[in-house]
Structure 1
Amino acid sequence: MRATRTLATLDEVGAGDHVLQVLDVADDVVDCSRAFLADGALFGDKVLIIGSASRASAAFAPVVLDPARLDGSLISAVRREAASAEREGYRSLRVLHQATCDGSAGSAERLLRSELDLEEFAADSGALVVCAYPRGDGGAGAPEHAGCVHPHHLGSRPASPAFQVYRTGKDGWTVSGVVDADGASAFAAVLGTLLEQTATVRLLCHGLDFLDAAGMSALADAARRLPDRKVVLEGTNETVRLAWELSGFADPSIPVVMAP
């Protein structure tokens, strides 16, 4: 079973980890990730860098993918490289994702979709994925949702949002922490992206402590936005279920199922 984890250094990245690394704007991504990249040769992993090519990139990775130049989706290209790595006899795929966002809604949506795809890919394949974000606000650095969709963090995880969503098996995702007003928009964005990809989103909520009014509204709105879609929350505690009912959200018109 995967679980959240804090890493002191990138030397601790293991199979199936999806790590958030936050860098200062002036930091060189490849240089700061040198240990992670160099370990590819040590452990027999194929190294893939997602981002703009550079002389430093070429020293570590046989393949560099520029998202701006891809014909299809990023995850399709990553999966092709994983299949190629398996045919070539590598142990696994080791991915450094240089994440960028120009601050526009479209860019943030594409990045969130890519992050959830990479989270699912790492969990299901055992690949090692590090996503490097520049420190800053949504326009210049890591968007609000970056911290909540990485179960593993270098140093410490961002204080807000106070929840995490991560892949736990072939059939579902885990939600832990507290979904409050500070994280409601990020929670809605994550749910909306998942619902675009599957008719029923299964959330394992044993670690979900509470949903405040804003969090419940975000859940209801995301579930209602697409027709014939449903969100199933399993393992919710009594407080979460009671708050949902007393707030009037336990309504047949809202395609959300809460179960203990």
Structure 2
Amino acid sequence: MRATRTLATLDEVGGGDHVCQLLDPADDVMDRSRAFVADGALFGDKVVIVSPLTQPTSDVAALVLDPLRLQDSLLAAVRREAASAEREGYRALRVLHHVTSDGCAEGPKRLLRSELDLEEFAADSGALVVCAYQGRGWDPSALEQVRCVHPHHLGSRPASPSFRMYRTGKDGWTVSGVIDTDGAPAFGTILRTLLRQSATVRLLCHTLDFFDASGMTALAGAAGYLPDRKVVLEGTNETVRLAWELSGFTDPSVPVVIAP
């Protein structure tokens, strides 16, 4: 079963991992990611580099895709390459997704949707996906949102987000950590993004420690954001259920179901 973890190096990336790597503006993405790319040949993986740099320097064979020139979505492109890798006899697809603040054509909403798509893709296909974020000028709230939907992070700086939401199986998302005043805006935005794609979002909360009032308000607001939508929380602890009840959210008009 997938679980959150912090990696010391990219050598530790395994099948189904979706890793967030934060780079300094002066870092060379290929130098910092060389082990991950080079391990493709070692393990028999097909390597795809998605980068606004048309030809990143690499000493290994890799398919390079310019995100600004893709004719369809990034998800469609990596799915196509995963199918090609399987036909060609590779073990798996290995993706280095290099995102720069000046080379990202997507706004915050589309970037978050793309990262949620990559998270589902990695979980469902067993692909190895590293998202390397680089450059100045990032909207801090947008960067926090995308960090929350990566279950795996490289290194411990900066501090990990207070909660993470990641794909579990085919029909649910695990939520771990604490959703408080700091994390509530990101949580609400992520939920609204998921609810645009699905009428029911199932959250597995066995590793969710606590919601504060702002987190519960974000949950209720996101669930009622669009008509005929519902959020189901499973595996909540007694503290979460009691706080939800005492806060007055157990109302038929709030499309949220909270279960043990």
Q: TM-score range by the shorter chain?
A: over 0.9
The CA distance in 1 between the partners of 2:137 and 2:205, in whole Å, is: 29
The amino acid that maps onto 1:25 is P
Alignment match, 2:37:
37
Aligned to 1:250: 250
Contact 1:85 1:93 in 2 (8 A): yes
Q: Structure 1 stretch 52-61 or stretch 85-94: which is displaced more?
A: 52-61
Contact in 2 for aligned 1:22/1:135 (Cα 8 Å): no
Give the C-alpha shift of residue 16 in structure 1: 0.7
CA contact (8 A) 2:241 2:258 kept: yes
Aligned to 2:147: 147
TM-score by length of 1: 0.93
Whether contact under 8 Å (2:108, 2:142) holds in the other structure is no
Q: Which residue of 1 aligns with 2:112?
A: 112
Query: Over aligned residues, Cα RMSD in angstroms?
Result: 2.2
User: Any idea what the Cα deviations from partners look like across 1:207-233, whole Å, max 9, x if unmatched?
Assistant: 111111111111111110111111000
Cα deviation, 1:82-137, whole Å, max 9, x if unaligned, reads 10111111110000011234699x61111111111111111111100001112666
Q: Structure 2: give runs of 5+ residues left out of the alignment.
A: none
Cα gap change, 1:146/1:246 in structure 2, threshold over 3 Å: closer, same or farther? Answer: same
Partners of 2:91 and 2:59 in 1: CA distance: 20
* 1:229 counterpart letter in structure 2: R
| Residues 100, 135 of structure 2: 8 Å contact kept | no
Instruction: Give me the whole-angstrom Cα distance separating, in 2, the residues matched to 1:215 and 1:199.
Output: 21
Matched to 2:234, the amino acid is: E
Q: Deviation of residue 159 (structure 1)? A: 3.1
What are the residue-to-residue correspondences of 1:1-260 with 2, within 5 Å?
1-57=1-57, 59-101=59-101, 107-134=107-134, 138-139=138-139, 143-156=143-156, 158-159=158-159, 161-260=161-260
User: In structure 2, how many angstroms separate the alpha carbons of the residues matched to 1:157 and 1:229?
Assistant: 37
Give the 3 Å change call, closer, same or farther, for CA 155–206 of structure 1 in structure 2.
same
- Once the two structures are TM-superposed, the CA of residue 59 in structure 1 deviates from its matched residue by 4.2
Instruction: Give deviations 1:137-188, integer Å, cap 9, x for gaps.
Output: 6338971112211111111274363000011111101001000111111101
Structure 1 ranges of 4+ moved more than 6 A: none
TM-score, normalised relative to structure 2? 0.93
| Distance in structure 1 (CA, Å) of the matches to 2:160 and 2:15 | 27
Q: Distance in 1 between matches of 2:212 and 2:160?
A: 15
Structure 2 CA distance for partners of 1:255 and 1:182, relative to 1, 3 Å:
same
Is the alpha carbon distance of 1:196 and 1:81 closer, same or farther for their aligned partners in structure 2, counting shifts above 3 Å?
same
| Of 113-122 and 128-137, the range deviating more from structure 2 | 128-137
Contact 1:103 1:139 survives alignment (8 Å): no
3-state SS of 2:224 partner: helix
- Over 3 Å counting, the alpha-carbon distance change for 1:232 and 1:102 in structure 2 is farther
- Percent identity, aligned pairs only, is 73
Contact 2:20-2:133 at 8 Å conserved across structures? yes
Whole-angstrom CA distance in 2 between matches of 1:8 and 1:115 = 22
| Matching residue's letter, 2:10 | L
Q: How many residue pairs end up in the alignment?
A: 260
**Mind listing any 5+ residue stretches in structure 1 that lack a counterpart?**
none
